[in-house]
Amino acid sequence: MTMPIENDIKQTTSFRSPYHRMTVNLMYTNGWVCDEQMYLLKPYGLTIQQYNVLRILRGQYPNPVKVADITERMLDKMSNASRLVDKLLAKELAQRTECPNDRRAVDVVITEKGLELLKIMDQHQNQWETRFHNLTEAEADELNRLLDKLRGSTE
């Protein structure tokens, strides 16, 4: 009788189905991974979302990225890219300039300071990732395959 997630949330009654257990497990595990990531980012004053936006900006560097493009690339589509960019601006990790061909749009570019901060984070990544090594690479691949399949995302 398997019980791990049940123990973690001190559950008394059992799950209706493997699918029910899966949804709860997914939420709980996601929280666990986020906690781990925050532990890494916090010393640098970054939130997970700000870090994600910063990496999207680096992905296009030195080209600018419009706010709408950031939203499209974000893990969480509904979060407010406009306000996240505000925060990066305040920390001088990104710059915002009016787009010349369309004055409604805004071009966002990562700054030198932003690139340097990401470089520091990169150095931590390999070390940080080792906390996921209780899964083998093959198991991580399998987990990826199952998550993709769950969402109905096919190759």
Element containing residue 35 per DSSP (H, E): helix 18-41
Neighbours of 80 (CB within 10 A): 13
C-beta of 56: minimal distance to its own copies in Å? 9
Find the Cα–Cα–Cα–Cα dihedral 140, 141, 146, 152, rounded to 10°.
130
123 binding its own copies? (CB under 8 A): no
SS (H, E, C) 91-112: CCCEEEEECCCCCCCEEEEECH
Q: Of 8 and 116, which CB lies nearer to its own copies in the complex structure?
A: 8
C-beta of 49: minimal distance to its own copies in Å? 10
Pick out residues in 54-73 that bind its own copies (CB under 8 A): 59-60, 72-73
Residue 42 CA to its chain's centroid (Å) = 14
Binding mask 22-61 for DNA (x = CB under 7 A): ---------x--xx--x---x----x-xx-----------
Which position among 83, 90, 125, 127 is part of the footprint of its own copies (CB under 8 A)? 125
Pairing type for strands 65-66 and 94-98 reads: unpaired
How far apart are alpha carbons 15 and 21 in whole angstroms? 6
For DNA, the binding residues (CB under 7 A) are 31, 34-35, 38, 42, 47, 49-50, 66-68, 76, 78-80, 82-87, 96, 99, 102-106
For its own copies, the binding residues (CB under 8 A) are 1-5, 7-13, 16-34, 37, 59-60, 72-77, 125, 129, 132-135, 137, 139-155
